[in-house]
Amino acid sequence: MKKNIILTFTLLAAMLVTVPAFSQGVNQLTKKEKKEGWTLLFNGKNFDGWRQCNGTAMPTNWKVEDNAMRIFTAPGKKPGQGSDGDVVFASKKFKNFELSVDWKAGKATNSGIFYYVREVPGKPIYYAAPEVQVLDNADASDNKIDNHLAGSLYDMLPCDPKTVHPAGQWNTTVIRIKDGVATHVMNGKEVVKYTLWTPEWDAMVAKSKFKNFPGFTEGIAKEGFIGLQDHGYDCWFRNLKIREL
């Protein structure tokens, strides 16, 4: 009996210790995060602050579902066919920041997280902004090149694919930019590091598909919007939060 009582108290103590780890709700900030300067970019209820890139309203192939921003294949389109559904958080431009995004890919999903978005009329979101790739590494058609896999600086630097959870599971990507030094962290592990506006950066651009993009050859902006890509596939985003550095 004494042994059972000790075991019961041990289990209760363990539960009390573990409960706080699960107490933070989706799309909510802890007191610690608020003190550290984090703010939410998505409240889990509506698209306040968001709009179409180069537009004024949210595209119709986005909806709020299960406390997440969901992009889906637009009616009349096939998977892989976007419908001008790239979006930006247009309430504020950011320069030095730490951005955290939870994302979940559907089967064959291809999408992206963008920073320093500079809107150019008639041009897509990737025309003048770096992209952190969002991908179903297993089944996406664009999974043949290392620096096209999830977490990569798209078409420039690869992410270790072992750090990425498969389609249907949530991933957390953290992008940190401070005075041009950029890092990508995938599910708690730093996977990519580079420095913007340097000869090394210019060399990477020159070897990429962006080498003839005026938005890159002119030099990417030193501040801009945060954006998400419509590539015509299902993808979910939640817990989008940022703090300025």
Homologous superfamily (CATH) of 29-244 is Exo-inulinase; domain 1 (2.60.120.560)
The yes-or-no verdict on residue 196 having pLDDT over 50 is: yes
37-82 residue pLDDT tens: 999 999 999 999 999 999 999 999 999 999 999 999 989 898 888 8
| Sequential DSSP letters for the chain | -HHHHHHHHHHHHHHHHHGGGG-SPTT---HHHHHTT-EES--SS--TTEEETTSSS--TTEEEETTEEEE-PPTT--TT---S--EEEEEEEESSEEEEEEEEE-TT-EEEEEEEE---TTS-GGGSS-EEEEE-TTT-TT-SSGGGSTTSBTTTB---GGGSPPTTSEEEEEEEEETTEEEEEETTEEEEEEESSSHHHHHHHHTSTTTT-HHHHT---SSEEEEE---SS-EEEEEEEEEE-
Give the pLDDT score at 83: 86
pLDDT band at 14 (very low <50, low <70, confident <90, very high): very low
pLDDT band at 8 (very low <50, low <70, confident <90, very high): very low
Weakest mean pLDDT among 20-24, 57-61, 82-86: 20-24
The percentage of the chain sitting over the pLDDT mark of 70, rounded to a whole number, equals 90
Task: Between 15 and 126, name the one with better pLDDT.
Answer: 126
For the chain, the domains span 29-244
Give the pLDDT score at 11: 45
